[in-house]
Amino acid sequence: NAGVTQTPKFQVLKTGQSMTLQCAQDMNHEYMSWYRQDPGMGLRLIHYSVGAGITDQGEVPNGYNVSRSTTEDFPLRLLSAAPSQTSVYFCASSYSLTGQYEQYFGPGTRLTVT
Amino acid sequence: KNEVEQSPQNLTAQEGEFITINCSYSVGISALHWLQQHPGGGIVSLFMLSSGKKKHGRLIATINIQEKHSSLHITASHPRDSAVYICAPGGGGSNYKLTFGKGTLLTVNP
């Protein structure tokens, strides 16, 4: 299994540009999430999905869209990039093992918005 | 919202020392994760626990659900243990979402 994969690893955008961060998992996990990690702050949840066709907002959803058309893929779209979206983005997937959710993280995408 | 406090924020140790990182949280949960992140690296789940104690090699994690407190211990620390350790309550029962502490930066000197 490749686990959770993310592309690209690094990206530089200009303010106002749009782009999609890709996330895929090959473990047939129900749950997938997007987080951002900023210096001095804990990981914060952007959006999450409990299955194909079902998504919901997390703590910091503004400026981001998601969709989940398949179990495997959970792309994150930046609609109009802003410098405040400069961050490291992690995708994660999880599954329930006897009511506990094992967590698997992707390698991250480092995004800089100028 | 679950408020998560980790202590210490930074920790420097000599190789071989016993390390303890503490985590307190404000909202009762049924599971808690400890994560490890090496500088510039990805995030790896070390432990998921809902009660008592778990041990993997030199790492030990404990949790007291009633006290809303967990600890991560590293015995015989090694420079390769240098990383950020993150406490994340949640991911259990009806609450599959995690809340994250800000992390503890551990540096182990040879």
pLDDT in tens, B9-38: 999 999 999 999 999 999 878 889 999 999
pLDDT digits (tens, 9 = 90+) for A6-39: 999 999 999 999 999 999 999 999 999 999 999 8
pLDDT confidence of B95, banded at 50, 70, 90?
low
In this prediction, residue B94 carries a pLDDT of 62
In chain A, % of residues over pLDDT 90: 85
Dist. CA A25–CA B87, nearest whole Å: 24
Nearest CA distance, B90 vs chain A (angstrom): 9
* Other Cβ atoms closer than 10 A to A92: 24
In this prediction, residue B39 carries a pLDDT of 86
Contact A106 B42 (CB under 8 A): yes
pLDDT confidence of B4, banded at 50, 70, 90?
very high
Q: Does A56 touch chain B (CB under 8 A)?
A: no
Name every chain A residue with its beta carbon within 8 A of the beta carbon of B96.
31, 50, 94, 96, 101
Name every chain B residue with its beta carbon within 8 A of the beta carbon of A108.
42-43
Q: Does B30 touch chain A (CB under 8 A)?
A: yes
Which residues are within 8 A (CB) of B62 and not within 5 positions of it... i.e. 6 or more apart? B49, B52, B53, B70, B71, B73
* B1 pLDDT higher than 80: no
SS3 B33: strand
Name every chain B residue with its beta carbon within 8 A of the beta carbon of A103.
33, 35, 45, 48, 88, 91, 98
pLDDT confidence of B96, banded at 50, 70, 90?
confident
pLDDT confidence of A99, banded at 50, 70, 90?
confident
Nearest CA distance, A40 vs chain B (angstrom): 7
